[in-house]
């Protein structure tokens, strides 16, 4: 026990004694095989030199397409044919799918009938006279009542037919097309009844408001109803649109959101933003979205060159350019502030895809004609924020481990973590120790 304590005390005493050449005195244990005598020996000292230092900013992010869009339809309908799948390559104008627009066509036809009815009402208002107007309005009311009665009967018949066809369809005695046709007839009958009821209400209102001097008011009211009917027709025709949906850009299908049988709502609808059919991206242009620490963001500007490496191709370097530096930072969970930036990458080989993890190195600043030494040559001094190096004395051999060196305090500047700028304390050509430092326990 006493022997062990004595050994440790001896090691501590020797380590506390400073040696020459940047060595710490004392004991060292070395492991591993000795180098062969004929093995090429690296110099222990390297010369301070004047050169350029390239400062870089590194960050990690994800790749994403520069251009990706949601394809929506200008038409309303049900998809009857779909021609693409996820991963399909598209050119601008390629057909994605086709729609069945029979139901929307019925809406357009109904709107046209409403316009014609409104035009007729306006013409009648203009031709009416104070003597004959009441009789005409009373006759129009009767016709409107008859129209509602007939339309109600038609709706009842359509509902009964649909109920019968639905029951037969469940049992397998009616086809899908027969069921679809009966539903369409029911929709048409409902629209006819709605138009007839509107006409009846109009006829009642016109008769109630009749007076010998009311023609001007009737004409104005009829004109407004015509204008409203025309707007409804225009909206219905816009929703009808084109029965084929095509790709607006060259790209690859990222996501297919609908399939045959699904309904599509037009982007022209007043009550909807439209249904997304697929998502398409142009992968010829890829960008990396990443975040730069607020300490480094001042060095990053649009137009700076960058290199990008992705985990999928670790041995390949892609070139890029900073295209956007966001003006507002975001706070991470650890309280750090970072700023999003975008780096557009050359993907001419079509190797990069979306959502790849990427490491970005931005060439932030090039400092020319600086006095440089390897960063490995620097050591912490005895005082706070003090940096020292070991300079080979004149006439010393840079390969000799026992060559004498001088400890010198230096002032350092920026570094690229390989080399560091010497602001003061060294001259061009002076040799500083970069390897061969004792780090273990030795018995001298």
Per-residue confidence in pLDDT tens, the chain, 444 aa: 333 333 333 433 333 344 444 444 434 434 444 444 445 688 999 999 999 999 899 999 999 999 989 999 888 888 999 999 999 999 999 999 988 877 767 888 898 999 999 998 888 777 765 545 677 778 888 999 999 999 999 999 999 999 999 988 898 888 988 888 889 999 999 999 999 999 999 888 877 776 545 567 778 888 999 999 999 888 777 766 677 888 999 999 999 999 999 988 888 776 678 899 999 999 888 999 999 999 999 999 999 999 999 999 999 999 999 999 999 999 977 788 999 999 999 898 889 999 999 999 999 888 999 999 999 999 998 999 899 999 999 889 999 888 999 999 999 999 888 999 999 999 999 999 999 887 644 444
Structural domain boundaries, residue 347: 56-64+283-367
- C-beta separation of 182 from 223 below 8 A: no
Q: Examine residue 438 and state whether it is found in any structural domain, yes or no.
A: no
User: Do 107 and 226 belong to one domain?
Assistant: yes
User: Do 111 and 228 belong to one domain?
Assistant: yes
Cα angle: 253, vertex 258, 259; to 5 degrees: 100
Using DSSP's 3-state secondary structure scheme, residue 147 falls into: helix
User: Do 396 and 414 belong to one domain?
Assistant: yes
User: Do 341 and 231 belong to one domain?
Assistant: no
Torsion of Cα atoms, 233 then 237 then 240 then 245, to 10° = -150
User: Do 318 and 230 belong to one domain?
Assistant: no
Q: Kindly report the CATH number assigned to the domain that includes residue 270.
A: 2.40.50.100
Strands (E), 144-275: 244-246, 251-256, 263-264
User: Do 138 and 221 belong to one domain?
Assistant: yes
Tokens 């059919």 correspond to: 277
Q: Kindly report the CATH number assigned to the domain that includes residue 37.
A: 2.40.420.20
Q: Examine residue 125 and state whether it is found in any structural domain, yes or no.
A: yes
Of 226, 252, 274, the one marking the end of a domain is 274
pTM over 0.75: no
Q: What is the pLDDT of residue 62?
A: 96
Q: Examine residue 319 and state whether it is found in any structural domain, yes or no.
A: yes
Q: Examine residue 147 and state whether it is found in any structural domain, yes or no.
A: yes
Q: Examine residue 69 and state whether it is found in any structural domain, yes or no.
A: no
Of 180, 211, 237, the one marking the end of a domain is 237
Q: What is the pLDDT of residue 416?
A: 86
User: Do 427 and 311 belong to one domain?
Assistant: no
User: Do 207 and 310 belong to one domain?
Assistant: no
Using DSSP's 3-state secondary structure scheme, residue 242 falls into: coil
Tokens 């490995």 correspond to: 376
Tokens 């973590």 correspond to: 417
How many distinct structural domains can be found in the chain?
Answer: 4
Q: Kindly report the CATH number assigned to the domain that includes residue 294.
A: 2.40.30.170
DSSP code of 375?
Answer: G
User: Do 84 and 165 belong to one domain?
Assistant: no
- C-beta separation of 364 from 370 below 8 A: no
User: Do 20 and 89 belong to one domain?
Assistant: no
Q: Examine residue 418 and state whether it is found in any structural domain, yes or no.
A: yes
Handedness of CA 87, 91, 62, 72 (dihedral sign): negative
Q: What is the DSSP string of 255-324?
A: EE---TT-EE--TT-TT----EEEEEEEEEEEEEEEEEETTTGGG--TT-EEEEEETTSTT--EEEEEEE
User: Do 255 and 265 belong to one domain?
Assistant: yes
Q: Examine residue 168 and state whether it is found in any structural domain, yes or no.
A: yes
User: Do 193 and 120 belong to one domain?
Assistant: yes
């Amino acid at each position: 026990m006493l022997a062990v304590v004595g050994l440790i005390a001896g090691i501590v005493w020797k380590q506390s004694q400073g040696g020459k050449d940047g060595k710490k005195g004392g004991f060292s244990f070395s492991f591993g095989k000795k180098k062969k005598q004929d093995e090429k020996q690296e110099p222990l000292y390297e010369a301070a030199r004047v050169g350029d230092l390239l400062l870089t900013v590194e960050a990690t992010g994800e790749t994403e397409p520069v251009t990706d869009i949601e394809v929506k339809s200008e038409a309303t309908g049900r998809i009857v044919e779909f021609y693409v799948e996820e991963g399909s390559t598209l050119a601008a104008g390629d057909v994605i799918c086709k729609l069945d627009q029979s139901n929307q066509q019925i809406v357009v036809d109904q709107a046209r009938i409403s316009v014609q009815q409104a035009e007729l009402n306006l013409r009648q208002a203009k031709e009416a006279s104070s003597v004959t107007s009441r009789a005409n309005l009373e006759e129009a009311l009767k016709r409107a009542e008859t129209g509602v009665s007939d339309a109600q009967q038609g709706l009842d018949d359509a509902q009964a037919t649909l109920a019968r066809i639905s029951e037969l369809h469940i049992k397998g005695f009616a086809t899908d097309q027969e069921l679809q046709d009966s539903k369409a007839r029911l929709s048409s009958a409902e629209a006819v009844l709605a138009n007839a009821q509107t006409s009846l209400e109009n006829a009642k209102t016109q008769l109630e408001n009749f007076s010998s001097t009311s023609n001007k008011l009737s004409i104005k009211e009829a004109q407004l109803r015509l204008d409203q009917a025309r707007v409804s027709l225009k909206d219905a025709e816009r929703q009808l649109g084109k029965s084929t949906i095509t790709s607006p850009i060259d790209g690859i299908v990222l996501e297919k959101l609908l399939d045959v049988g699904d309904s599509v709502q037009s982007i022209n609808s007043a009550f909807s933003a439209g249904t997304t059919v697929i998502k398409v991206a142009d992968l010829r242009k890829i960008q990396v979205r990443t975040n730069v620490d607020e300490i480094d963001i001042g060095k990053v500007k649009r137009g700076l060159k960058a290199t990008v490496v992705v985990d999928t191709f670790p041995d390949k370097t892609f070139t890029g350019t900073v295209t956007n530096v966001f003006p507002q930072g975001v706070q991470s969970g650890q309280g750090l502030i970072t700023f999003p930036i975008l780096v557009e990458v050359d993907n001419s080989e079509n190797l990069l895809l979306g959502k790849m993890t990427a490491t970005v190195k931005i060439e932030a600043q090039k400092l020319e004609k600086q006095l440089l030494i390897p960063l490995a040559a620097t050591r912490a001094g005895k005082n706070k924020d003090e940096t020292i190096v070991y300079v080979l004395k004149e006439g010393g051999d840079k390969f000799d481990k026992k060559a004498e060196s001088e400890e010198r305090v230096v002032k350092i500047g920026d570094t690229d973590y390989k080399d560091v700028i010497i602001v003061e304390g060294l001259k061009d050509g002076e040799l500083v120790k970069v390897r061969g430092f004792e780090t273990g326990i030795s018995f001298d």
